[in-house]
């Protein structure tokens, strides 16, 4: 089949690589415009663009597919390519109806959740924050709504108790590539059986905000642990801002006030329910993330010291 690929971040790259290794023809790649990054604010290509150029694919970076001159030019390009299928994964733009209806087999989107659960922008983080024990990747026939199209194929995977959003992201991107490959195989065999989503079971994965990362130590240990693993957590320690990247709930309990450090060797602290959380990876402001044991070599902490809510 002739395929146009649309994707932008690192999460999309394994799927593009899978297509490149397949018998299908990638006619072109659409990705978001380059953005200034780093201290020098130099324009940096998206991960998908870098990989597409490595493979020798034509790359298009319209500001919008829905309005303006870029949208008109993009539509003309797609009409000339006349692809059999458009595959979309974490592209970052909403496709208009005329693009959705252009290819012979329509547009297929790869979404990092077990739809209809966690439609929207942040399914990986939301799954961890909610305490979900399972997640996965779903391929779906794209419709005009937000992740509302008929489901085509799924692969599910457990979320482990110590898994962070970054860890889960790095597993799911390869599962997405597998789902893509298997979806295309089923499509070629005529064996795809679209399943409508049950809207009554749907929930929306709203965007993550910075405010959500401020740790409220009055919350339960499980809630705080999920915040740290799902979106990282900010707190104050000895008047300095620190960032907690990874953690685990411990078997310890305490009647000390919430935020109190009860084990100076591990930085384990009390939460609102009396249970404790142990930070595993921590980062001082302006420093690098490191294991808690390494952090404590340069940061003196005693039992009874307290984490406070970040300012």
Percent of the chain residues topping a pLDDT of 90: 95
Residue 39 has pLDDT above 90, yes or no: no
Mean local confidence (pLDDT), 71-80: 97
d(CA 293, CA 310): 22
Query: Residue 276: which of 293, 251, 255 has the closest Cα?
Result: 251
Q: CATH fold of 2-205, please?
A: Rossmann fold (3.40.50)
Distance from CA of residue 196 to its chain's centroid?
A: 24
In the prediction, which pLDDT does 77 show?
Answer: 98
According to CATH, the topology of domain 210-309 is 3.10.25
Q: Is 193 left (phi over 0), alpha (psi -120 to 50) or beta?
A: beta
Confidence of residue 296 (pLDDT cuts 50, 70, 90): very high
Task: Tell me how many degrees the CA angle 125-129-130 measures, rounded to the nearest 5.
Answer: 120
CB 212 within 8 A of CB 182: no
Domain parsing of the chain, residue ranges: 2-205, 210-309
- pLDDT category at 211 given cuts 50, 70, 90 is very high
Domains 2-205 and 210-309 share a fold: no
173-197 pLDDT tens trace: 999 999 999 999 999 999 999 999 9
Here the tokens at position 174 are 């390869």
Q: Concatenate the DSSP letters of all residues of 149-160 into one string.
A: SPEEEEEEEEPP
HSE-CB for 9 with a 13 A CA cutoff: 7
Tens digit of each residue's pLDDT (9 = 90 or more) over 88-146 = 999 999 999 999 999 999 999 999 999 999 999 999 999 999 999 999 999 999 998 88
Question: What letter would DSSP give residue 194?
Answer: -
Percent of the chain with pLDDT over 70: 100
Q: What does the pLDDT read at residue 41?
A: 78
How would you classify the pairing of strands 134-141 and 151-158?
A: antiparallel
For the whole model, what pTM was predicted? 0.94
């Amino acid at each position: 089949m002739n395929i146009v690929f649309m994707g932008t971040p690192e999460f999309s790259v394994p799927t593009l690589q899978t297509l490149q290794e397949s018998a299908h023809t990638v006619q072109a790649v659409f990705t978001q415009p380059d953005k200034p990054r780093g201290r020098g604010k130099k324009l940096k290509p998206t991960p998908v663009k870098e990989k597409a150029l490595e493979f020798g694919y034509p790359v298009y970076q319209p500001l919008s597919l829905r309005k303006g001159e870029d949208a008109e030019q993009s539509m003309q390009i797609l009409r000339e390519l006349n692809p059999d299928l458009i595959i979309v994964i974490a592209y970052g733009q909403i496709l208009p109806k005329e693009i959705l209806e252009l290819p012979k087999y329509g547009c297929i989107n790869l979404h990092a959740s077990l739809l209809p659960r966690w439609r929207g922008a942040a399914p990986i983080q939301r799954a961890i924050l909610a305490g979900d024990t399972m997640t996965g990747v779903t391929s779906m026939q794209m419709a005009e709504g937000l992740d509302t199209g008929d489901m085509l194929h799924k692969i599910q995977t457990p979320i482990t108790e110590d898994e962070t959003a970054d860890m889960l992201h790095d597993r799911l991107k390869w599962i997405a590539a597998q789902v893509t490959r298997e979806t295309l195989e089923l499509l070629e065999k005529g064996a795809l059986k679209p399943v409508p989503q049950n809207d009554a079971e749907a929930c929306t994965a709203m965007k993550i905000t910075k405010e959500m990362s401020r740790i409220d130590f009055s919350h339960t240990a499980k809630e705080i642990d999920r915040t740290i693993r799902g979106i990282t957590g900010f707190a104050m320690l000895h008047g300095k801002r620190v960032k907690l990247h990874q953690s685990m709930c411990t078997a310890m309990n305490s009647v000390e006030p919430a935020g109190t450090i009860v084990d100076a060797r591990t930085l384990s602290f009390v939460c609102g329910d009396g249970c404790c959380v142990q930070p595993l990876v921590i980062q001082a402001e302006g420093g690098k993330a490191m294991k808690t044991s390494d952090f404590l070599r340069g940061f003196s902490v005693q039992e009874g010291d307290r984490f406070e809510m970040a300012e």
